[in-house]
Structure 1
Amino acid sequence: MARILLIILKLAMPTLQIKTQINADIQTCFDLARNIDFHKLSMTDSNEKAVAGKTSGLINIGEWVTWEATHFGVKQQLTSKITEFENPNRFVDEQVKGALKSFRHEHIFISEEKEKTLMIDIFDFKSPFGIFGKVANQLFLKRYMTNLLNERNAILKQEAEAI
């Protein structure tokens, strides 16, 4: 019975974990990850724009941003807020309003050898629409979100290593 409950919980709120090695110092990586202007540049495929709240520069604890973007052919808005912040090691943004039922995105930065950083994204999300949302998670949403984060991280890595 406990095993079945664990499976149901995993389906209800998938957790993605992505690790990216970057040949750049921790502060550069941390600041790029929370830079609204860089985020816009890294998400051109979905045409993301910051339309309310903090719309430019570095976002900090307690600040929020509303993004307008096109995903799955549908223009939508998502508002997230920085709820935890430890410069330059970690910050968390959480959905305040948007298409998902909820999400929590933890950004972790670990300084390694000289001028090297391990960036870890832990992304927990919950889809709306009950069992249909759980099915969507398994069929395509989990893969879509993983690809989105991997693409963004590749651009962040490229930018950080060029600085």
Structure 2
Amino acid sequence: MITIKKHSGIYTLETTQEINIPIREAWSFFSSPNNLEKITPSEMGFKITSEVDKKAYAGQIITYKVGILPGIKSNWVTEITHVENESFFIDEQRFGPYKMWHHEHWFYSQTNGKTLMKDKISYKIPLGFLGHLAQTLFIKKQLITIFEHRFKTLETYFDEK
């Protein structure tokens, strides 16, 4: 389930997904920045451009190239600001296509041996009225498409394990 709400000029996207692996495996997969490309739609041309040789840690800077519109790529720089092992991590945009991007990744161990993941992204779009128009016309749809792709990819990927 994916919801997007607007408040005080900021949008908040929230999504949840139960995946078919224990929390230790889920944490190992999602705390490795190199796995992000595996769950991002290929048409976005997502590519990590910095050297990433460690699991997520507070203060880690990661740089990317990502397609924000057909034929238009953007540099994106994020910082992992908080990490609590097997519980959550937060990444924040330092430079990129959004005026603000704050992404919380939460992990909850389930009694059935699975993991419940919750994402909460608070973001602000630049360009005032034009940015809000872009949100209505394509940004919202693009974000929903990304998370729907991720949902399907993870269902397939972890059901094979």
TM-score, with normalisation over the residues of structure 2? 0.86
**Which one has the bigger helix percentage?**
1
Alignment CA distance shift 1:81-1:28 (3 Å): same
Is the aligned partner of 1:143 residue 2:147? no
Unaligned runs of 5+ in 1: 1-6
List 4+ stretches of structure 1 deviating above 6 A: none
Report whether the alignment pairs 1:113 with 2:115: no
Q: Aligned residue for 1:63?
A: 60
Structure 2: give runs of 5+ residues left out of the alignment. none
Q: Which has the higher strand share?
A: 2
Larger deviation, residues 77-86 vs 10-19: 10-19
Higher relative contact order (CA 8 A, sep 6+): 1
- 1:114 is paired with a residue whose SS is coil
- What residue number does 2:18 align with? 21
Q: In 2, distance between residues paired with 1:31 and 1:161?
A: 16
Closer, same or farther: CA 40–62 of 1 in aligned 2, 3 Å: same
Superposed displacement of residue 19, structure 1:
0.6
2:3 paired with 1:12:
no
Q: How many pairs are equivalent?
A: 155
**Is 2:46 the partner of 1:48?**
yes
| 1:160 counterpart residue number | 158
Which deviates the most, 68-77 or 15-24?
68-77
TM norm structure 1: 0.85
The answer to whether the 8 Å contact 1:21/1:118 transfers is: yes
Query: In angstroms, what is the RMSD of aligned CA positions?
Result: 1.9
State the Cα deviation string for residues 90-143 of structure 1 (Å, max 9, x = none). 110000000110100100111112321110110111000011112221232122
